[in-house]
Amino acid sequence: MPLLLKNCRILVNDKVYSKNILVKKDKISKITNKEPKADGIIDVNNNFVLPGLIDVHVHMREPGLTHKEDFLTGSMAAAKGGITTILDMPNTIPPTTTVAALEEKRKLASKSVVNYGFNFGATLNNLSDIKKAKNIASVKLYMDATTGAMKVEDFDSITDIFRASKLTIIHAEDMNVKAAIDILIKNKIKNKLHVAHVSSAKELQYAKQNSIKKQVSVEVTPNHLFMNEKYIQTLGAFAEMKPRLKTEHDQKALWDGIKNGEVDIIATDHAPHLREEKEQANYPFGVPGLETMLPLLLDAFNQNNITLQKIMQLCCENPAKIFKIKNKGFLKEGYDADLVIADLDKRQAVRNEDLLTKCRWSPFDGKILKGWPVMTIVNGNVVYDNGQINDVKAKEVQYGR
Residues forming contacts to ligand DOR in the complex (CB under 6 A) are 59, 91, 146-147, 171, 241-242, 271, 284-286
Q: How far is the CB of 144 from ligand DOR (least distance, A)?
A: 8
Residue 147, contacted partner among ligand DOR, Zn ion, none, CB below 5-8 A by kind: ligand DOR
CB within 8 Å of 19: residues ≥ 6 apart: 8, 10, 31, 32, 33
Residue 310, contacted partner among Zn ion, ligand DOR, none, CB below 5-8 A by kind: none
For the question of residue 269 being annotated catalytic, the response is: yes
Stretch that binds Zn ion, among 46-54, 269-277, 297-305, 347-355 (CB under 5 A): 269-277
Nearer to Zn ion, 218 or 375 (CB): 218
Q: How far is the CB of 156 from ligand DOR (least distance, A)?
A: 23
Stretch that binds Zn ion, among 204-212, 263-271, 363-371, 389-397 (CB under 5 A): 263-271
Residue 221, contacted partner among ligand DOR, Zn ion, none, CB below 5-8 A by kind: none
Nearer to ligand DOR, 26 or 277 (CB): 277
Give the residue nearest to Zn ion (CB). 269
Per annotation, catalytic residue among 70, 129, 269, 338: 269
Nearer to Zn ion, 28 or 241 (CB): 241
Q: What are the C-alpha distances in Å from 294 to residues 54, 118, 216?
A: 11, 22, 25
Give the residue nearest to ligand DOR (CB). 286
Stretch that binds Zn ion, among 29-37, 254-262, 268-276, 301-309 (CB under 5 A): 268-276
Nearer to ligand DOR, 95 or 371 (CB): 95
CB within 8 Å of 392: residues ≥ 6 apart: 113, 378, 379, 381, 383
Q: How far is the CB of 115 from ligand DOR (least distance, A)?
A: 21
Q: How far is the CB of 232 from ligand DOR (least distance, A)?
A: 13
Q: Footprint of Zn ion on residues 332-351 (CB under 5 A)?
A: none
Nearer to ligand DOR, 80 or 197 (CB): 197
Residue 117, contacted partner among Zn ion, ligand DOR, none, CB below 5-8 A by kind: none
Q: What is the β-pairing status of strands 27-32 and 15-24? A: antiparallel
Stretch that binds Zn ion, among 77-85, 251-259, 262-270, 387-395 (CB under 5 A): 262-270
Which residue in the set 269, 291, 317, 343 belongs to the binding site for Zn ion (CB under 5 A)? 269
Nearer to ligand DOR, 254 or 378 (CB): 254
Q: How far is the CB of 198 from Zn ion (least distance, A)?
A: 13
Residues lying near Zn ion in the complex (CB under 5 A): 269
Known catalytic residues? 269
